[in-house]
């Protein structure tokens, strides 16, 4: 039996590319750095596809079920018999699937950036950071150990920070990158505490141990309780907070729309297809633990996901920045995945939600990357993000138009495009478990179709706007990636996903459920038609609706004032009520007491320094006098 040692090359080659272009990038022509990075990601992609083939079709299956393969496992830091931090590679259906998604989207983004970032002064820096990001993301999905996941999790956060702040001379980009870093870092604190709690009660960091349904971790834990919930539930909820930060779940979603300040291909790679689904991935990774030890934590996941998806979809309907619409759409779709995980059971058909979530992750990565790259193509052509300044672009950019349309149809869930299949599975899984959540997700499906086609009609139809220069189609290297991703988005739905990725590794067969599919598609079509009538031609009706909705529209447009709430909490409460008094205390009490001690020392030494006369005989006299004094004292004491 062949082993999987070559999978080690997939992330490591990217790390070397990062070091190489990061250190030596300035010495070469920018295009050379780009080529080196693209070549290495190409090798990674080829190896990932080969791994996927080997895993899914040749040797992953044992007794009809896909099993976990520990490719290797190096002990790095040992705490006691059961607790150690290891570095290694773990292959199972979801990690292999993520390998394929990450490397493929990353390859597309690398190719696309050759055209999009051409002439940018930070070209090789950009490529170095792209390599770093892809390396860390691959490390994250391949980790064998939850602590290794945590390390790569932070690395991913750092590279996201670096890439959002790519245009570091733009103040908005700088503040956006800081915001993204601080918000996710804040959430990661929860993650870290969760890991420590979990390790304390489950007794292991190792995924093999943690996710084994018969393993001691699951059986032993859940005994200690705190505030009515078991300690493991608290740990899993804290881990979910980390996931919510990375995956932009309410109320930690505020960084994602701002992260759109980064270059558009970065948004496509990090903030749509890969990094933001890391949270979903981690919950899927720990799924057996969630389902067997704390269904309450899963309920939290489901409700937070559902609320976020509705919330973000409503906001997406009102935004006018093309990338922000897509950002909120991403948040909404990740909410979908969370809901699916939250309602899922374990094993076979019960695990439909799990499989649907992973399926949606897969298809969403394709069509959302396509949408972002399409948006990038538009921005490249007319140099603005505002959809009000766009219109009738289909005349100028036919390829972008068609691929964007395919992606919109896919995300809206129109058969036979990929989004239809994955969304259908999610809705079926939800309706079986929780009808209330189903209603929410059903409404979101309609809203999704509406806001995507609102975007589509405003940008590609509507009235032609005045452009500074005639918009032109993007260079062919960008179009190739668009077409490739469009093909993927169109056909990815036909992959029999449940044959490969299931909660317990046992394949099962799914089919379209007409009683869910028909109403969903109908609603999506209604959404599309509404957008069609409102935005196909320029008309006053959108404004009328806007005015009649009044307050609701305004608050949705301002993203329900969540940013303002954060500003209020941080600026007014934390800053004014806590930081300012502490700063005052530091400056006036602590500093001045230190200054007082220094001043007193100075004063006293100024007074007594004259004792130090430099006269040798004076010193000798004092010494002799002291000796005699001591002598007399001793004699006096002895004779007493």
Partner 1 sequence: MTEVVGIQHFMVLSTLMFFIGVYGFLTRKNLITILLSIELILNSVNINFVAFNKYLYPENLGGHFFAMFVIAVAATEVAVAIAIIISLYRKLKMIDVENVNEMKY
Contact residues for partner 1, defined by CB under 8 A: 609-610, 612-617, 620-621, 624
Q: Residue 466: helix, strand or coil by DSSP?
A: coil
- DSSP β-ladder status, 84-91 and 69-78: antiparallel
Smallest gap from residue 610 Cβ to partner 1 (A): 7
Q: Which residues pair with 61 in a beta bridge?
A: 66
Q: Residue 359: helix, strand or coil by DSSP?
A: helix
Nearest to partner 1 of 624, 635 (CB atom): 624
Nearest to partner 1 of 182, 624 (CB atom): 624
Smallest gap from residue 186 Cβ to partner 1 (A): 56
Nearest to partner 1 of 512, 624 (CB atom): 624
Smallest gap from residue 617 Cβ to partner 1 (A): 6
Nearest to partner 1 of 594, 630 (CB atom): 630
Smallest gap from residue 604 Cβ to partner 1 (A): 14
Q: How many CB atoms lie within 10 A of CB 98?
A: 26
- By C-alpha distance, which of 327, 340, 333 is closest to 310? 333
HEC profile for 470-518? CCCCCCHHHHHHHHHHHHHHHHHHHCCHHHCCCCCCCCCCCCCCHHHHH
Nearest to partner 1 of 80, 615 (CB atom): 615
Nearest to partner 1 of 214, 617 (CB atom): 617
End-to-end Cα distance, the chain: 100
Give the integer Cα–Cα distance in Å for 423 and 344: 14
Nearest to partner 1 of 227, 616 (CB atom): 616
Tokens of 275: 């990094």
Nearest to partner 1 of 540, 617 (CB atom): 617
Smallest gap from residue 634 Cβ to partner 1 (A): 17
Angle (CA) 566-454-557 rounded to 5° is: 20
Smallest gap from residue 618 Cβ to partner 1 (A): 9
Do the Cβ atoms of 58 and 66 come closer than 8 Å?
no
**Residue 513 CA: distances (Å) to CA of 111, 421, 498:** 39, 10, 15
Smallest gap from residue 638 Cβ to partner 1 (A): 19
- Dihedral of CA 118/122/128/129: which sign? negative
Do the Cβ atoms of 337 and 279 come closer than 8 Å?
no
Smallest gap from residue 630 Cβ to partner 1 (A): 15
Nearest to partner 1 of 597, 620 (CB atom): 620
HEC profile for 280-324? HHHHHHCHHHHHHHCHHHHHHHHHHHHHHHHHHHHHHCCCCEHHH
Smallest gap from residue 615 Cβ to partner 1 (A): 6
């Amino acid at each position: 039996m062949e082993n999987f040692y070559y999978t080690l090359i997939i992330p490591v080659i990217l790390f070397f590319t990062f070091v190489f272009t990061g250190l030596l990038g300035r010495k070469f022509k920018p295009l050379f750095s780009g080529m080196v990075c693209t070549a290495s990601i190409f090798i990674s992609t080829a190896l990932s596809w080969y791994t996927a083939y080997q895993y899914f079709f040749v040797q992953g299956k044992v007794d009809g079920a896909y099993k976990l393969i520990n490719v290797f496992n190096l002990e790095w830091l040992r705490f006691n018999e059961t607790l150690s931090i290891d570095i290694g590679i773990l292959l199972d259906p979801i990690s292999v699937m993520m390998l394929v998604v990450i490397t493929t989207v990353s390859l597309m983004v690398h190719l696309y950036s050759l055209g999009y970032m051409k002439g940018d002064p930070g070209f090789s820096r950009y490529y170095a950071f792209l390599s770093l990001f892809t390396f860390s993301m691959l490390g994250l999905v391949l980790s064998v150990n939850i602590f290794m996941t945590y390390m790569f999790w932070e690395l991913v956060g750092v590279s996201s920070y670096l890439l959002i702040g790519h245009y570091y001379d733009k103040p908005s980009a700088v503040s956006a990158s800081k915001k993204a870093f601080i918000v996710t870092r804040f959430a990661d604190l929860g993650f870290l505490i969760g890991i420590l709690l979990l390790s304390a009660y489950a007794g292991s960091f190792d995924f093999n141990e943690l996710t084994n349904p018969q393993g001691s971790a699951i059986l032993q834990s859940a005994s200690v309780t705190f505030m009515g919930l078991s300690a493991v539930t608290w740990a899993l909820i804290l881990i979910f907070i980390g996931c919510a930060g990375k995956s932009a779940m309410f109320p930690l979603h505020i960084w994602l729309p701002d992260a759109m300040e980064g270059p558009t291909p970065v948004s496509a790679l990090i903030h749509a297809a890969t990094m933001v689904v890391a949270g979903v991935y981690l919950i899927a990774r720990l799924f057996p633990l969630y389902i067997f030890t704390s269904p309450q934590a899963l309920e939290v996941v489901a409700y937070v996901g559902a609320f976020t998806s509705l919330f973000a979809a409503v906001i997406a309907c009102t935004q006018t920045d093309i990338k922000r619409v897509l950002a909120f759409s991403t948040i909404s779709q990740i909410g979908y995945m969370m809901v699916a995980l939250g309602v899922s059971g374990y094993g076979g058909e019960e695990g439909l939600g799990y499989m649907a979530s992973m399926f949606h992750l897969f298809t969403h990565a394709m069509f959302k990357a396509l949408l972002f790259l399409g948006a990038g193509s538009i921005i490249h052509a007319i140099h603005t993000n505002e959809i009000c300044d766009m219109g009738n672009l289909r005349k100028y950019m036919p390829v972008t138009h068609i691929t964007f349309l395919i992606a919109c149809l896919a995300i809206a869930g129109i058969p036979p495009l990929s989004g239809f299949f994955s969304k259908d599975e999610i809705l079926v899984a939800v309706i079986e478990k929780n009808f209330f959540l189903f209603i929410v997700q059903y409404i979101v499906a309609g809203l999704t179709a509406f806001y995507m086609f609102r975007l589509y009609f405003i940008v590609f139809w509507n009235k032609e706007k005045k452009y500074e220069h005639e918009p032109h189609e993007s260079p062919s290297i960008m179009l190739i990636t668009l077409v490739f991703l469009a093909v993927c988005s169109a056909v990815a739905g036909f992959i029999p996903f449940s044959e490969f990725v299931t909660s317990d590794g046992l394949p099962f067969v799914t089919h379209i459920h007409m009683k869910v599919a028909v109403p969903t598609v109908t609603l999506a079509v209604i959404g599309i038609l509404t957008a069609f009538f409102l935005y196909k031609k320029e008309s006053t009706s959108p404004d009328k609706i806007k005015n009649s909705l009044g307050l609701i529209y305004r608050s949705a447009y301002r993203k329900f004032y969540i940013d303002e709430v954060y500003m209020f909490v941080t600026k007014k409460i934390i800053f004014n009520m806590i930081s300012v008094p502490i700063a005052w205390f530091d400056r006036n009490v602590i500093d001045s007491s230190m200054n007082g001690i220094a001043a007193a020392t100075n004063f006293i030494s100024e007074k007594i320094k004259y004792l130090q006369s430099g006269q040798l005989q004076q010193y000798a006299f004092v010494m002799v006098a002291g000796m005699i004094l001591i002598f007399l004292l001793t004699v006096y004491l002895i004779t007493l």
